């Protein structure tokens, strides 16, 4: 499915009049260490040789004949030597198949690793679903485990409560949220 998305992605780029360039004279840097560090995004955008740059993109993934999620971004670039998309203003809509609810995720920047099924939302991350919200600087969506993790901590709120923790993980298929390290919960 991801290969089909990538092929459709390339066709849309050609049809949409988006520019394609090859930076053969620029040395592609090695994968930066600490890819979960939000400071590494500007390094990727500024220093990485890109094979493809697009003004806007839309990706989706399905499971069992149903759409699982849809991601849209204002800008995207494919890093030359890696399976890595760098995106600006990513907006993810995640469809909770158990109860039919929808979750919305947004951030300033992000990265997509297709082979690893990892999407990172970087800087000003905000998640909403019904009356629940989560906020932080870095969110890592793991498509294999179907989890969303704030490894650098974050805040959360819901009907009648709010709180914060150093690490927050939402296991989407189990509908379970765990919080670790300096956890504080406030009841209204």
Q: Evaluate whether 111 touches 131 at the Cβ level (below 8 Å).
A: no
- Sign for the CA dihedral angle at 163, 165, 170, 174 comes to negative
Q: What is the pLDDT of residue 45?
A: 52
CB neighbour class for 93 (10 Å; exposed up to 12, middle 13-18, buried from 19): middle
Which of 15 and 85 is assigned the larger pLDDT?
Answer: 85
Number of domains making up the chain: 1
Q: In whole numbers, what is the pLDDT of the chain averaged over residues?
A: 78
What pLDDT, on a 0 to 100 scale, did the predictor assign at position 32? 34
Query: Tokens 């009841």 — which residue?
Result: 187
Give the CATH number, domain containing residue 116: 2.60.450.10
pLDDT band at 41 (very low <50, low <70, confident <90, very high): low
Range of the domain at 27: 2-187
- Whole-angstrom Cα distance, residue 170 to residue 96? 13
- What 3-state class would DSSP assign to 20? strand
């Amino acid at each position: 499915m991801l290969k089909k998305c990538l092929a459709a992605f390339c066709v849309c780029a050609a049809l949409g009049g988006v520019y394609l360039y090859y930076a053969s004279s620029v040395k592609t840097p090695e994968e930066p260490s600490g890819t979960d560090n939000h400071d590494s995004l500007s390094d990727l955008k500024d220093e990485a040789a890109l094979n493809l740059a697009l003004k806007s993109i839309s990706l989706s993934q399905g499971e069992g004949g149903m759409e699982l999620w849809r991601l849209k971004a204002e800008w995207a670039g494919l890093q030359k030597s890696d399976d890595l998309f760098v995106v600006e203003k990513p907006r993810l809509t995640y469809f909770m198949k158990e109860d039919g609810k929808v979750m919305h995720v947004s951030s300033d920047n992000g990265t997509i690793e297709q082979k690893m099924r990892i999407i990172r939302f970087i800087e000003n991350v905000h998640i909403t679903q019904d009356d629940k919200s989560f906020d932080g600087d870095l969110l890592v969506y793991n498509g294999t485990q179907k989890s969303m993790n704030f490894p650098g901590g974050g805040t959360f709120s819901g009907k009648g409560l709010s709180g914060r923790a150093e690490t927050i993980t939402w296991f989407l298929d189990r509908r379970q949220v765990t919080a670790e390290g300096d956890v504080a919960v406030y009841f209204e």
